[in-house]
Structures are given as structure tokens and as C-alpha cells.
A and B are shown apart, each in its own frame.
Chain A
Amino acid sequence: MIPHDLAARPGTGPRREARGRRFAVLCGLATAVGVLALLVLLEDILLDGLGVLDTQFLTGFASRSPERAGIRAALAGSAWILGLTVAIAFPVALGAAIYLEEYAPRGRLTQLVQANIANLAGVPSIVYGIVGLTVFVRWAGLGRSLLSGALTLTILILPVLVISAQEAIRSVPRELREAAYGLGATRWQVVRHQVLPRAFPGVLTGAILALSRAAGETAPLILVGAVGFIAFTPRGPMDEFTVLPLQIYDWISRPQSEFHALAAGGIIVLLALLLAMNAAAIILRNRYRDRR
């Protein structure tokens, strides 16, 4: 493993050390690129968008005139769609994770299923948009509704949800299961009373992170949702909708700079939302760790 020429380079000590220092600086600079990019991006958005943030912006509907436009419909749409997505995706993902970890026989088929789920996680999100448009909007006749959007996001985050739930379930010590089985518990009793209570914080953390990914997703919903002019808040799952990222995209794609400022304002709200979700996940994770 060790290159044989390392030891056989006498007399180049100082130069080698100088090269080493230059390399260390290079690595540090490369790391700084990522940090700097984040700072510049945030500064760019805050400078452009802070000016439009007021109650009018938060409570107004989309409008042709920039000074009256707001994100009310988008916020309501995002809340609806995230709620629906959780309600559909969470039980299915948890069920699949429990089955794969606690029930499934170890064999070829299980391996195949597992590989399938892993592959799904790498599919570009726009492909899910095509699937959602065809299956839910067209075939199932659900139209460009909240439900279509939520189902599309469900199949998008399902692989990530299943994998994170599986990891949480796997981290529960084996002895607990064995002790419970030894006392005559059935499989479901073991899962219900031993595994789930201990795995739950981990499952929940993974769910919040997956949901925050869904909250920022734009591309698949362009195909399924209604970009642009939605001037009402949805009343039920069959209503048309827009979400925050879609509204932002709509404003970006207009040439006037007033709309770009609105887009930046929307981005600030979206980032604040994601930050809150991630903070919740981190707090949950830390509290769980302390208790153990």
C-alpha cells in the first residue's frame, strides 16, 4: 500500500515541507469555497428580498402588480401538501421498514427489494414529475390537485423515508428483542412494545428531514401543479394548488426585477421554514441521544 519511493527521497526535506504547506493551504481554500458560496448566496438573497417582507407579502395573493403580490396561496398550498404527504407516506414507509427489518426472510427477494428502494433514491426528481403527471393527474383522473401533488411527493420521498426508518429500527439492540421473544411475545408485540418506542425518535427525525426535502421540491410539482396564478387558498384535497417553491419559480421566470425581489422574499420565507424543520429534527435527535 505504501509507495516505495517515499523513503527513498533523501535531501529534499525543506522543499517537501514547503510543498506540504502549500497543499494544506490549497485544501483549506477548497473548503472555504463551499463556506464562501453559502455566505454569498445568503447575502444575495437577503439583500434582494428583505425589502419585500411585510404583512402584505405574507397575507396577499399572487397579483399582476408586484407591490400587491403575496404568498398566501403558496403558504397554504405548501402546508396542505406537506400534511397530505406525511399522512400518506409515513404509514407506508414505516410499514415497509418494519417489514424489511423485523419480518422479511433474509433472501434474494428481500435483497432485490432493498436494492430497488436504494435505486429509487437516486432517480432525478423530474422523473417523478412525469410519473405523477401520467399516473395521478391523467390515469387516476385526479387532475392537477393537491392530492396528485401529495402522491407524487410521496413516491419521491418514500425511498429516503424507508431507508432512514430502517436505520432507526436497526439501531435498537438485539437483546431487547430476544428477551421479549424469550418471554413468549409475538412478533408484533415485540415490534409494538420494544422496537418502535426506541426507534421512534430516529424514525421521526428521518421523517422531518425527508419532509423538508419535499417542502423545497420544485421540478416534479411544475408538472403536476399549477404554476402561477392561484388566487385562493385550497379548501380540500381536490383543489388546484401552488406551493412556495412554485410561486418562487414563477416570479423568477418573469423578466421584471420587481418580481425577482418577490422571489427573493419568498426564498427567505422558504429557507426559514426549512431551517425550523431541520432545527426540530436536530433537537429531537439530541434529546434522544441524551436520554440513552
Chain B
Amino acid sequence: MDFRRRRHLGEALIHGFLLLSTALSALAALGIVVLLAVESFGFFSRVSLLEFITDTRWSPLFQDQHFGILPLASASLMVATGAALVALPTGLLTAIFLSEYASRGTRRVLKPVLEILAGIPTVVYGYFALTFVTPLIRWFLPGTGVFNAASAAIVVGIMIIPTVASLSEDALRAVPDGLREAAYGLGATRMEVSTRVVVPAALSGVAAAFILALSRAIGETMVVTIAAGSIARLTLNPLEAVQTMTAYIVAVSRGDTPQGSLEYQTLFAVGLTLFLVTLALNLVSQKILRESRQEDA
């Protein structure tokens, strides 16, 4: 009897610990949202949301203070767009190669290479951008600045190729072989099977991979901090220095802005914007995947 009660007590303690761990893990998400929202509140009580969204200048650290997120947001978007131009076609074609063309042996060699590429720390990619890609661009286009958006975009693009390729490949391989066989039976070439049967059938999975990669490109910090520069300006010229949202967060946290000041609070306003944008992209990506799974079932 006594033994059994002790056993019950032990079970209850363990149950409590496990529940607590789960709560901690899940509450972290809620905590981030609450924290960013609460801390941003201080900022938005002093700068109107309208100014934040519409002002075309961002200069919290200068005499003439402006708090328009557009220069930072457009820089993030420009780098992400450039990265997408590199990574989406390359990643999708790589996925088609791996799923439709490569033999099992080739795949066994190539997949680890992609995994290594995905596992390289971002600071290393930053070094690569600054010391290899930037000089290369400046050799072709001598007017380019030492810090420029193009170099960062190209390297972020290389960085997210594995994300696009491996998630797209998963989607392509999930297409039932019956579809391929039917198309071959009608006399289609391998290219026609790939581009007109397999890719369309896997389109939602591929789209989810694209969106997720885009979200990663927007959240990327080290490459843009190292290679794209730290001048917040509204420009469409990729050969100029720009400052992305992530690079601004690094810059302001490295400086010595006093805690509680309006300059310091920009950290949370920019952080919240970044968080909301990437969260929205991730949710869309998940929704696409979930719906396509329901259709299949």
C-alpha cells in the first residue's frame, strides 16, 4: 500500500515536470509576441503608426530624427528579392534533378553536399560575401561600393538554395509514380513529365518551400550586416549600401543608446515588424502545405 502510494507520488511529480517543460516550450512563443508588443508600445506612443509606415526616412540616431520603416523594409525586401532570383530557379531545378534525373548513387553524394551548405554558419557566408563576392562584383562594375546590397543578395541566395531544393524535392518525390508512368505511356519525354506533370502536381509543396525560403532571407542577419552596409536609405540600386531591418537591430544594439530612450525603443518596433512579416510568411507556407495534404487525403 505504502509502496503504491509512493509510486503514485513519483508519477505525479514526473507528470508535473513534463507538463512544466511543455508549458515552458509553448509559452516561449507567446512570450516573444507579448514582449515585442509591450515594448513597442512605448515607441508607438511617441511615434505615430502612420509616420512609422509612411515616412521615407529612417534616422533615429541623428539630430533630425525620422522614424519611417520604409528604407529598412525596402532594403530587406530588395535583398530577399535578389536572393529569391538566385535561389528559387536554382533550387527548383536542383530539386527536379535530384528527384527525376539523378541515380540513387548521385543523390547519395549530392544530398550531403546540400546539407553541408545548409549547416554553414551565417557569419561564414558573411565573410564569403565581403571577401569574395564583393571584389568580384567590383571587378565587373568598378563603381560599386565596398558595401552593397547585390553581394549580400547573391550570398543569401546561395545560402537558401538548400532550403528550396530539399523542401521542393520532398514535394516532387511525394507525387505518385502512377502519374509519371501515365505521362510516359503517352510518349512524353522526361522533361515534359517533369515540368508538366510532376511540378504542377507538387506545386503547393514547391510554393510552400519558396515562401519559407523568402522568410529565411528576410530574417537573415549576418550576411547583410557584414556585406550590405549600414546606411538606411530608400533606393532601388542594388550596388549601393543599404541597411536592412536585421542589420539595423545589430547596429543599434552594438551602439551605446541609453536604455529606455526613443532610439533604444526602435529596437522593438523594428523587431516586431520583422517578427510579424516572417511569421506571416511561415503561416502562409504552413497553410498551403496543410491544405494540399487535405486535398490528397
Q: Do A and B come from one complex?
A: yes
Instruction: Give the B-binding residues of A (Cβ under 8 A).
Output: 1-3, 6-7, 16-17, 19-20, 23-24, 26-31, 33-35, 37-38, 40-41, 44-45, 48, 91-96, 98-100, 103-104, 112-113, 116-120, 122-131, 133-135, 138, 155, 158-159, 162, 186-188, 212-213, 215-219, 222-223, 227, 245, 248-249, 252-253, 260, 263-264, 267, 270-271, 274, 278
- Taking CB atoms and an 8 Å cut-off, the chain B residues in 185-235 that contact chain A are 186-192, 194-197, 200-201, 212, 215-216, 218-222, 225-226
Contacts of A120 in B (CB 8 A): 28-29, 32
Q: How far is the CA of A35 from the CA of B26 in the complex (A)?
A: 38
A125 touches B221 (CB 8 A): yes
Instruction: Give the A-binding residues of B (Cβ under 8 A).
Output: 7, 10-11, 14-15, 17-22, 24-26, 28-32, 35-36, 39, 89-94, 96-98, 100-102, 110, 113-114, 116-117, 119-128, 130-132, 158, 161-162, 165, 179, 182-183, 186-192, 194-197, 200-201, 212, 215-216, 218-222, 225-226, 246, 249-250, 253-254, 259, 267-268, 271, 274-275, 278-279, 282-283, 286
B126 touches A6 (CB 8 A): no
Q: Show 19 residue pairs from A and B whose CB-CB distance is below 8 angstroms, ordered by the A residue.
A: A2-B186, A19-B189, A24-B191, A30-B97, A40-B132, A44-B131, A96-B26, A98-B18, A99-B21, A124-B221, A124-B274, A130-B267, A130-B268, A188-B14, A212-B119, A215-B121, A223-B253, A248-B127, A267-B123
Contacts of B15 in A (CB 8 A): 103, 187-188
Contacts of B128 in A (CB 8 A): 41, 44-45
Taking a contact as CB atoms closer than 8 A, the residue among B21, B162, B268 that contacts A93 in the complex is: B21
**Contacts A187-B11, A218-B122, A249-B126 hold; do A126 and B250 have CB atoms under 8 A apart?**
yes
**Contacts A41-B120, A158-B28, A271-B124 hold; do A222 and B246 have CB atoms under 8 A apart?**
no
Give the Cβ gap from B234 to chain A, nearest Cβ, in Å.
22
Across the interface, name the chain A residue whose C-beta is closest to B282: A122
A91 touches B89 (CB 8 A): no
Q: How far is the CA of A243 from the CA of B200 in the complex (A)?
A: 46
Give the Cβ gap from B114 to chain A, nearest Cβ, in Å.
6
A218 touches B121 (CB 8 A): yes
Across the interface, name the chain A residue whose C-beta is closest to B212: A122
6 new A-B contacts, CB < 8 A, other than A16-B189, A227-B254, are A2-B197, A116-B29, A124-B275, A213-B119, A216-B119, A260-B127
Q: How far is the CA of A155 from the CA of B120 in the complex (A)?
A: 21
Give the Cβ gap from A135 to chain B, nearest Cβ, in Å.
7
Contacts of B17 in A (CB 8 A): 95
**Contacts A2-B197, A34-B90 hold; do A99 and B22 have CB atoms under 8 A apart?**
yes
Give the Cβ gap from B295 to chain A, nearest Cβ, in Å.
12
Contacts of B29 in A (CB 8 A): 116-117, 119-120
A122 touches B278 (CB 8 A): yes
**Contacts A130-B36, A249-B123, A249-B222 hold; do A30 and B93 have CB atoms under 8 A apart?**
yes
B21 touches A31 (CB 8 A): no
| A-B CB pair tally, cutoff 8 Å | 263
Contacts of B132 in A (CB 8 A): 40-41, 44
Contacts of B96 in A (CB 8 A): 27
A127 touches B123 (CB 8 A): no
Closest 3 pairs (CB-CB, A-B): A124-B219, A216-B121, A95-B21
**Contacts A16-B189, A45-B124, A123-B279 hold; do A31 and B97 have CB atoms under 8 A apart?**
yes
A34 touches B18 (CB 8 A): no
**Contacts A34-B162, A155-B28 hold; do A100 and B219 have CB atoms under 8 A apart?**
no
Give the Cβ gap from B284 to chain A, nearest Cβ, in Å.
11
Taking a contact as CB atoms closer than 8 A, the residue among A1, A27, A103 that contacts B101 in the complex is: A27
Contacts of A33 in B (CB 8 A): 90, 94, 158, 161
Taking a contact as CB atoms closer than 8 A, the residue among B26, B32, B259, B282 that contacts A131 in the complex is: B32
Contacts of A129 in B (CB 8 A): 249, 253
Contacts of B116 in A (CB 8 A): 38
Give the Cβ gap from B125 to chain A, nearest Cβ, in Å.
8
Contacts of B165 in A (CB 8 A): 34
B249 touches A126 (CB 8 A): yes
Q: How far is the CA of A188 from the CA of B18 in the complex (A)?
A: 11
Give the Cβ gap from A263 to chain B, nearest Cβ, in Å.
6
Q: How far is the CA of A48 from the CA of B98 in the complex (A)?
A: 33
Give the Cβ gap from A88 to chain B, nearest Cβ, in Å.
10
Contacts of B30 in A (CB 8 A): 116
Across the interface, name the chain B residue whose C-beta is closest to A113: B26
Across the interface, name the chain A residue whose C-beta is closest to B121: A216
A92 touches B21 (CB 8 A): yes
Chain B CB count within 10 A is highest, among A20, A27, A129, A245, for: A27
**Contacts A34-B90, A130-B249, A212-B119 hold; do A24 and B222 have CB atoms under 8 A apart?**
no
B98 touches A31 (CB 8 A): yes
Contacts of B212 in A (CB 8 A): 122
